[in-house]
Amino acid sequence: ETGVTQSPTHLIKTRGQQVTLRCSSQSGHNTVSWYQQALGQGPQFIFQYYREEENGRGNFPPRFSGLQFPNYSSELNVNALELDDSALYLCASRTGQGPQETQYFGPGTRLLVL
């Protein structure tokens, strides 16, 4: 158990719709990152939040947005869904820095866009 939970586990949407995915991490995990993993590929970095501010972003368009809340939960919002958004979405919280860094991954939300 990593202490990181995600909801929902599975989701089916249609093209053009909007979706919100949720992640809850352990107390004290101030940094949370979101990743998109297409089938057969490694995860791709979407963005990172630290103390409720986005402080890093990968190569994803603005229709991918997020929020982080004081209770160590966070959201990934995707607007105007496209077929290629079908993937496993993972959140990961992080504690420590440098040699003491530890990453904790959630189980993921599998999104299918039809």
| Positions in the binding site for other proteins (CB under 8 A) | 2, 33, 35, 37, 40-48, 50, 55-56, 58, 88, 90, 92, 97-99, 101-108, 110
In angstroms, the CA 75 to CA 66 distance is 5
Q: How far is CA 114 from CA 10, 18, 102, in A?
A: 14, 13, 36
Least separation in angstroms between CB 37 and other proteins: 8
Query: Which residues does residue 104 pair with via DSSP β-bridges, in sequence order?
Result: 93
Least separation in angstroms between CB 5 and other proteins: 11
Closest CB to other proteins among 3 and 16?
3
Least separation in angstroms between CB 57 and other proteins: 8
| 20 alpha carbon, distance to own chain's centre | 10
- Tracing tokens 């440098």 back to the chain, one arrives at 98
Closest CB to other proteins among 80 and 101?
101
Closest CB to other proteins among 11 and 50?
50
Least separation in angstroms between CB 16 and other proteins: 26
Query: Residue 54: how many CA atoms within 13 Å on its side-chain side?
Result: 14
